[in-house]
Amino acid sequence: MNDEQLLRYSRHILLDEVGIEGQERVLASHALVIGAGGLGSPVALYLGSAGVGRITLVDHDVVDLTNLQRQVAHTTDRVGQPKVESAAQAVRAINPGVEVTCLQQRADTALLDEWAPQATVVLDCSDNYATRHAVNAACIRHGKPLVAGAVIRFDGQVMVFDPRDAASPCYACMFTPEAEFEEVQCSTMGVFAPLVGVIGAMQAAEALKLISGAAPAITGRLLMLDGRTMEWNTMKVPRDPACVVCGKQ
């Protein structure tokens, strides 16, 4: 690290759990972020400010006025711009030393199979069931840790799946891909704005722990937050040996 980096990241370096070696691992890392909306905004901003060397943002959508209530990486004057470009501008404004790649595309199998192998960690900040399963399956195929988050109304959840850990479940261990699932979206159900910040910040924290080795990740534990009472519930999720996705690995 040069003198500017030592100063910029000094508050992380001062942590015994991170130190110079941990910060250097952060600088050398690559985060693949699926979704640049409510969850992807704080994820991208915190990973960028922490010095993750490469961030790849994937989102097919453009900034809409209704996004601005909670998607803090975007601004009024960027309405109509691709979300990935808008979020990249926000990250670069905080930390110009981060390399940000923008992919204005849907996270389909082809894209995930190209980019997941290049990533140190994958963060699922998407808002639909099919994408979550596609991201999970790609992480299993390529042996990449996955930090998943979700928020709707006043309810949030976050979990880490790590195929490098033989005991770790995957997303499909909890929610089978074949299940009939009725999508609920914030456009019809609403979402409490600060909650995406809470869950997105936790996703960033778990990713940085995985990258730096500062502390164990919450692998195998589903953390659920009730935003009305601000009470957390934790559920241990075992790996399903019959899982159609990770059970064959």
Topology of domain 3-236, per CATH?
Rossmann fold (3.40.50)
> What are the extents of the domains in the chain?
3-236
Which band of pLDDT confidence, cut at 50, 70 and 90, is reported for residue 184?
A: low
Q: What is the arithmetic mean of pLDDT over 29-52?
A: 98
H or E element: which one contains 122? strand 121-124
Predicted pLDDT of residue 178: 75
Specify the pTM: 0.95
Query: Which of 102, 125, 139, 186 is an active site residue?
Result: 186
Burial class of residue 154 (count of CB atoms within 10 Å of its CB; 0-12, 13-18, 19+): middle
Structure tokens at 85: 């470009």
Annotation marks residue 170 as catalytic: no
Q: What is the arithmetic mean of pLDDT over 137-144?
A: 98
Which residue, 59, 156, 163, is CA-closest to 102? Answer: 59
